Amino acid sequence: MRSLALLLALPLSAQALPPTPEAAFFKGDARKVMVACADRALALKAKDSRLMAEYGRAFLAGGDRKRAEETFERAVALDRKDGETYRLVALAWLRNGFKAEALKVHQQMLEADPRADRPQKLAAIDLLEAGCLPEAEAMMAHVQQVAPKDTDNLKDFALAALRSGQGALGSRWAERAWEADPKGLPRDWHDCFDLALAARQARMDDLAARWFARTLAADPKEERMWNAVALAFADPVAQAGGAGAAR
């Protein structure tokens, strides 16, 4: 009995780990796979708040809400001021269809780490990808207040919108990125090109044309820029059947 009590007193990482599953295990029930892998991860390293939040996501997807909530609480307790930990907890709720719970955690994130614009931007993109457009824009409005001249935040959100098929939203936030800092986006051909390419891939020809023109204006003597634009038009032609497709 004494040896059993000593074993139970040890942290899980110090106890004997279960054997590593063989290939057949991963052909079985997905819920069992995700929970088993999250359990094993917890046994190996249970002191990283962000990883802990993601373990909880696996438990939630596996149908064990009680254990997921306990894991989320442990994650936040490890670092109560880390905005990214809160974002990952909110993402877990959002990915599993719990919008109200996600929004509650987003509010906690804003209160715990109000100046951390990066996790807020990522939270906005999470909301966008979940189809929560008003909430996504509200989060981005907060991001812009925190870092008004950080064009990367605005550009990244615009790109996410374009890639998600939200053309009008993407166009609007791309313009905000353009206007936020005259010495930022207007002078960075890479960022302008990213927006142009995303718009072209979304079949928004007018928007793409505007951003290709801005790309060229940013640094007209840059050889790599001209090459990037050329290939943006060349590769789709090649994929469609080569030179004959352009005729």
Q: What is the pLDDT of residue 238?
A: 72
Position 149, amino acid: K
Look up tokens 């943006």; give the residue.
Answer: 232
Look up tokens 């991860």; give the residue.
Answer: 41
Task: Give CA separation, 71 vs 67, 90, 112, 242, in Å.
Answer: 6, 13, 19, 53
Q: What is the pLDDT of residue 52?
A: 95
Q: What is the pLDDT of residue 122?
A: 98
Q: What is the pLDDT of residue 183?
A: 86
Q: What share of the chain is helix, strand, coil (3-state, %, to 5)?
A: 75, 0, 25
Domains parsed from the chain with CATH numbers: 148-238 (1.25.40)
Q: What is the pLDDT of residue 39?
A: 86
Q: Which residues are within 8 A (CB) of 27 and not within 5 positions of it... i.e. 6 or more apart?
A: none
Task: Name the nearest CA neighbour of 67 among 59, 57, 77, 75.
Answer: 59
C-alpha angle 155/156/160, rounded to 5°?
115
* Tally: H helices and E strands in the chain: 13, 0
Q: What is the pLDDT of residue 17?
A: 65
Would you list the DSSP string of 198-247?
Answer: HHHHTT-HHHHHHHHHHHHHH-TT-HHHHHHHHHHHHHHHHHTTGGGGG-
Show pLDDT as tens, one digit a residue, over the chain (247 residues).
333 333 333 344 445 566 788 898 998 899 899 988 898 888 887 789 999 999 999 999 999 999 999 999 999 999 999 999 999 999 999 999 999 999 999 999 999 999 999 999 999 999 999 999 999 999 999 999 999 999 999 999 999 999 999 999 999 999 999 999 888 888 999 999 999 999 999 999 999 999 999 999 999 999 999 999 999 999 888 777 755 555 4
DSSP strand E in 24-168: where?
none
